Chains A and B, each alone.
Chain A
Amino acid sequence: MGKGKTRDHLGRPVVAVTGMGVVTSLGQGIDDNWSALTSGKSGIHRITRFPVDHLRTTIAGTVDFLFDEVPRSAVLTEKLAELAAEEAIARARIGTPGDFPGMLFMAVPPVELDWSVKRELYEGGDTTTADPYDRMIDSAMTLNSADAYEYALYACVAEKTADRFGTRGAPISLSTACASGATAIQLGVEAIRRGDTDAALCIGTDGSVQAESLIRFSLLSALSTNNEDPATASRPFSKNRDGFVMAEGAGALVLEDYDAAVARGAEILAVIRGVGEQADDFHRTRSKPDGSPVIGAMRQALGDAGIGLDEINYINAHGTSTPENDKMEALSLEAVFGEHVKSIPISSNKSMIGHTLTAAGAIEAVFSIQTIRSGVIPPTINQDVADPSVTLDVVPNVAREAPVSMVLSNSFGFGGQNACLVIAASPA
């Protein structure tokens, strides 16, 4: 257990946020992102990274301003994480460069060899080898490239990030699909509560918009096909929503034992008051029709935070803009909060930055904290046709000034992943 005295309602050490950083298609850094978000600007655009012939969806929120050449997915994923973490660590003023005094919990997308690499291996192989994989394997062993090898390994991005920032202990690479960013924060919170570490660097990062990843989501009919006007394609909670928009980015938080942070004179940006999680056993991509796992995850987070329903004054929605997610999320919120839900502003950052997949939970935690600190709620844009079945106050189209001290941030993912965070201005 931590050495200090500040405890939450269950007698556990309190977990403070002392640093945060973000990169999205809207830009690099919190300031640029925040000014865009609060002015209702979309980062969604036509895809130029690869040709879009034969694709049903031709728009995305890719981050294109970091590399001149098209990077491999894992390389972009690592770079996004590096930039977000640098900003977070600088803000927290913790440790010294290359020596972060805490553990690393890192949400990264599953790794696969990019087609560019496969093509190179195949073309460099022996043309008389009949089996294409045998041909690539021959070529791989001749190539003997440490770089190609390491970036094919699942733990590579977190390993390189741990090397770069000098985090302590074994880095955790994790994947809980679109809840991953929130899971990284949960793991950090739990480690600090246990007293395993005084600090944790929690990152969600995703730079995996490639033709194949886009096609896979397309085949599941999960993506918006509103290609004509990219900025208006992501329409969470509206009646004419038709799917999510794939996007990239990274969010990073420095979590600390509250007393340790205060003792070193750190600025407390926010407190992670509660975490909740409940797996769904209904279907690989769909939620249980009664929403019970989502409801359970939210209730657990509120219970873990030890707060009443009326203390939440903003909800940062998962809000993907798919017909299924937004319906289930609205239904579940109504079940948890009852009539009161109509008086809680709720917005989806994804209306502007798209769905950053593995990174979403971390990026949205950063924006939730910025909402608390600025007293401005970013809007849910593209609300032209209201869905009569959604009775939520989605902060349509225009940002709103409002005091916010307690946020519920939702993240849900394929595979029955449901994770919720309660983020507050102060410990109690």
Chain B
Amino acid sequence: MSDNSGGNSARDVWVTGIGLISSLGEGLDAHWQALALDEPRVGSVDTEHFAPFPVLPMVPLQLDKQIPRKADQRQMEPWQRLGTYAAGLALADAGLAGDLDRLAHMDMIVAAGGGERDVVVDGQILAGLGGAENPDAFLNERLANDLRPTLFLAQLSNLLAGNISIVHKVTGSSRTFMGEELAGISAVEIAARRIRAGGQGEQFLVGAAYNAERKDMLLSLALGNTLWQGAVNSVWERANAGGGMVTGSLGVFLVLESRESAEARGKSGYARLGPVLSGRSRREPGQATAVARGQIDALRPELGDKPVGLLSGATGVAAATLEERSLLEALVAEGTVGPIRATQSLLGNSLEAAFPAQVALAALALSRKGFYRPADPTGLELEATDVPTQILATSWGFWRGEGMALLEAID
């Protein structure tokens, strides 16, 4: 579907705040340092607790800084803490933290999976079921006795948004989209469309969080044999060796705002968010490529003369990653696409948070007038030579969903 982002207008969408936390660090400076300045490397990797799968855990956070009340912290599961923390960073970065008048009208779109299970309780029940005289009655009894009432709230997908309302006082509309990378793509897309339309919101808080340190999610992903085992390397290397993704903890929120609204309060943006395109296919061979090609073609009129830098959301899952690579090689050959960076090589996949993170990293690079360092021994990612004025952020979900956004420098 087309997204007519128009030219330079009051209804332009600006990224005016970013909150980003991951295994690489907290905040924009830390991410710039790790991805653009330092020799590329993953942060700490946990190869022990979730073996055979490596996961990339969140750097330590001082939760009190963004979630001051311990009572609030206790009511949340880790993924909600990560999201609520990142949302606080984004609001502060946009100069909106504590601005109760504006927060009361701020609209929110959160992309979420589901809540975390109490794996200890699950494990005890599973171990006991086999020997129980009446397994169903045993299950009922144990669940009734062992589940914590508050856990249920942590398991509701919309309770990240609920916690952000409570902690940060964002109380306009509140929407939660569910389901892997595409939920994050749609969240950014619909927020942008609402801003461009006029009359459907001026300031949006959009984002997601993923806690990689959870076996319940690894179980779901293992059902599809989607996970990489072994040392963490680049997504391109993984795709060449059977494929698989590495999950990484990440929290990201963006403040998206109409240019009109930002300028009225004297705020500039990191970047202008141009068209955001979402698509889907059943992932039969060539289908995702066709969707992504259509997206590139839709964006062509907006692209400048120079090849555009691209942040790929490739996951390392073999079929999709190899297909995406072929497409990117063709786009480089024809001069449409310039330097490519696969952010998941270093950050891992954060599912619902993956695409908002791509948008955040694209906006960051545009604002710093630089690009990230290549991290790919297979030769697809080449050195960048020019200061980028446009960057494409893409995401091919690990099972479904293809998304693409164009970000542009403001000055």
Chain A residues engaging chain B, CB cutoff 8 angstroms = 10, 12, 50-56, 108, 110-113, 115, 118-119, 121-123, 131-134, 136-137, 140-141, 143-146, 148-150, 152-156, 158-159, 162-163, 168-177, 183, 186-187, 190-191, 193-194, 196-197, 211-212, 215-220, 277-285, 293, 413-417
**B interface residues, Cβ below 8 angstroms from A:** 1, 75, 108, 112-115, 117, 119, 122-123, 126-127, 129-130, 134-137, 139-141, 143-144, 147-149, 152-153, 155-159, 161-163, 165-166, 169-180, 182-183, 185-186, 189-190, 193-194, 197, 199-200, 215-216, 218-220, 222-225, 278-280, 282, 399-401, 403
Say which residue of A123, A169, A193, A217 sits within 8 Å of B279 (CB atoms): A169
Contact A283–B140 (Cβ < 8 Å)? no
Question: A415 touches which one: B129, B158, B180, B278 (CB < 8 A)?
Answer: B158
Q: A10-B199, A190-B200 are in contact. Are A113 and B137 (CB under 8 A)?
A: no
Q: Do the beta carbons of A53 and B134 come within 8 Å of each other?
A: yes
User: Top 6 closest A-B pairs, CB basis?
Assistant: A155-B179, A415-B162, A132-B123, A53-B137, A154-B179, A170-B278
Contact of B279 with A110 in the complex, beta carbons under 8 Å:
no
Partner of A137, one of B108, B172, B183, B218: B218
Cα A381 to Cα B144 with chains together (Å): 31
Closest-by-CB residue of B relative to A176 is B158
Q: A170-B403, A277-B174 are in contact. List 4 more A-B contacts (CB 8 A).
A: A54-B144, A152-B220, A170-B279, A415-B159
**A134 vs B122: C-alpha distance when bound (angstroms):** 12
Q: Can you give 24 A-B contacts (C-beta < 8 A)?
A: A51-B136, A110-B114, A121-B219, A140-B222, A140-B223, A155-B182, A155-B401, A170-B185, A172-B186, A186-B173, A193-B197, A196-B193, A211-B136, A212-B147, A215-B143, A219-B149, A219-B152, A279-B161, A281-B166, A293-B171, A414-B153, A415-B153, A415-B161, A415-B174
A74→B254 CA distance, assembly (Å): 32
Q: Are A170 and B280 also in contact (CB < 8 A) when A110-B115, A414-B159 are?
A: yes
Q: How far is the CA of A131 from the CA of B144 in the complex (A)?
A: 23
Could you tell me if B1 and A279 are in contact, using CB atoms closer than 8 angstroms?
Answer: no
B139 touches A211 (CB 8 A): yes
Complex CA–CA separation, A277 to B200 (angstroms): 12
A187's contact among B139, B185, B190, B399, by CB below 8 Å, is which? B190
Q: Which residues of A contact B123 (CB under 8 A)?
A: 131-133
Let me know if B139 and A115 touch, CB within 8 A.
yes
Q: Which residue on chain A has the smallest CB distance to residue B154?
A: A284
Q: Known contacts A280-B165, A414-B153; decide if A168 and B1 are in contact (CB<8 Å).
A: yes
Whether B182 and A170, one on each chain, are in contact in the complex, defined by CB atoms closer than 8 angstroms, is yes
* Shortest Cβ distance from B403 into A: residue: A170
Q: Which of B126, B178, B194, B218 has the most CB of A within 10 A?
A: B178
Residues of chain A with a CB closer than 8 A to B144's CB: 54-56, 215, 218-219
- Closest partner residue, chain A, to B397 (CB atom): A155
**List of B residues within 8 angstroms of A183 by Cβ:** 175
Q: A112-B114, A281-B165, A293-B171 are in contact. Are A51 and B137 (CB under 8 A)?
A: yes
A132 contacts B126, CB within 8 Å? yes
Bound CA span A156–B282, Å: 12
Chain A neighbourhood of B113, CB < 8 A = 154
- Taken together as a complex, chains A and B put the C-alpha atoms of A133 and B215 apart, in Å, by 7
CB neighbours of B223 from chain A (8 A): 140-141, 143, 145, 148-149, 152
**Cβ of A416 and Cβ of B165 under 8 Å apart?**
yes
Measured CA separation A122–B129 after assembly (Å): 10
Q: Is the CB of A284 within 8 A of B75?
A: yes
Q: How far is the CA of A153 from the CA of B352 in the complex (A)?
A: 12
Cβ of A155: which chain B residues have Cβ within 8 Å of it?
Answer: 178-180, 182-183, 400-401
Which of A145, A217, A417 lies at the interface centre, i.e. has the most chain B CB atoms within 10 A of its CB?
Answer: A417
Q: What residues of chain B lie closer than 8 Å to A217, measured between beta carbons?
A: 152
Contacts of B119 in A (CB 8 A): 132-133
Query: CB distance A175 to B147 under 8 Å?
Result: no
Q: Which residues of A contact B174 (CB under 8 A)?
A: 176, 277, 279, 415-417
Q: Is the CB of B224 within 8 A of A110?
A: no
Indicate if the CB atoms of A278 and B126 lie closer than 8 Å.
Answer: no
Minimum C-beta distance from A216 to chain B (A): 4
B141 adjacent to A174 (CB under 8 Å): no
> Is the beta-carbon distance between A416 and B166 smaller than 8 angstroms?
yes
Q: How far is the CB of A163 from chain B (nearest CB, A)?
A: 7
Q: Are B173 and A159 in contact (CB under 8 A)?
A: no
Q: Using Cβ atoms and an 8 Å threshold, which residues of chain B touch A197?
A: 1
B149 touches A173 (CB 8 A): no
Whether A54 pairs with B137 at a CB distance below 8 angstroms is yes
Q: How far is the CA of A219 from the CA of B154 in the complex (A)?
A: 14
Which residues of chain B come closer than 8 Å to A111, judged between CB atoms?
A: 114, 178
| Complex CA–CA separation, A187 to B109 (angstroms) | 12
Chain B residues closer than 8 Å to A171, beta-carbon distance: 280
In whole angstroms, what is the CA distance A271 to B200 when docked? Answer: 19
Using Cβ atoms and an 8 Å threshold, which residues of chain A touch B152? 216-217, 219-220
A156 to chain B, nearest CB (A): 8
Interchain CA distance A122-B224 in the complex, whole Å: 17
B137 contacts which chain A residues (CB < 8 A)? 51, 53-54
Partner of A176, one of B115, B148, B169, B175: B175
Question: How many Å from the CB of A170 to the closest CB on chain B?
Answer: 4
> How far, in whole Å, are A282 and B169 apart by their CA atoms in the complex?
9
Q: In the assembly, what is the distance between CA of A159 and CA of B176, in Å?
A: 17
The residue that B163 contacts in the complex, of A108, A133, A284, with Cβ under 8 A, is A284
Q: Is the pair B159, A169 in contact by a Cβ cutoff of 8 Å?
A: no
* Chain B nearest Cβ from A360, distance in angstroms: 14
Query: Is the pair B136, A415 in contact by a Cβ cutoff of 8 Å?
Result: no
A173-B140 CB under 8 A given contacts A53-B134, A110-B156 = no
Q: Looking at the complex, which one of A153, A173, A281, A415 makes contact with B156 (CB distance below 8 Å)?
A: A415
Q: Which residue of A lies closest to B291 (CB)?
A: A170
Pick the residue among B148, B178, B401 that contacts A175 (CB under 8 A): B178
Closest to A168 in B: B1
Contacts of A154 in B (CB 8 A): 113-114, 157, 178-180, 183
In the assembled complex, the Cα of A162 lies from the Cα of B1 at a distance in Å of: 15
A111, B180: Cα distance in complex, Å: 12
A310 to chain B, nearest CB (A): 26
Question: How distant is A115 from chain B, measured CB to nearest CB, in Å?
Answer: 6
Which chain A residues border B178 with CB–CB below 8 Å?
A: 108, 110-111, 154-155, 173-175
Task: Specify which of B140, B216, B219 is in contact with A55 (CB 8 Å cutoff).
Answer: B140
Bound complex: CA of A150 vs CA of B220, how far in Å? Answer: 9
The distance from the CB of B102 to the nearest CB of chain A, in whole angstroms, is 14
Distance in Å: Cβ of A169 to nearest Cβ of chain B:
5
Taking the closest CB of chain B, its distance from the CB of A261, in whole angstroms, is 20
* B159: chain A residues within 8 A (beta carbon): 284, 414-415
Could you tell me if A196 and B1 are in contact, using CB atoms closer than 8 angstroms? Answer: yes
In Å, the complex CA distance between A51 and B197 comes to 52
Q: Is the CB of B176 within 8 A of A176?
A: yes
Q: How far, in angstroms, from A215 to B104 measured CA to CA in the complex?
A: 35
Q: Would A194 and B200 count as touching, CB distance under 8 A?
A: yes
Expressed in whole angstroms, the minimum distance between the Cβ of B2 and any Cβ of chain A is 9
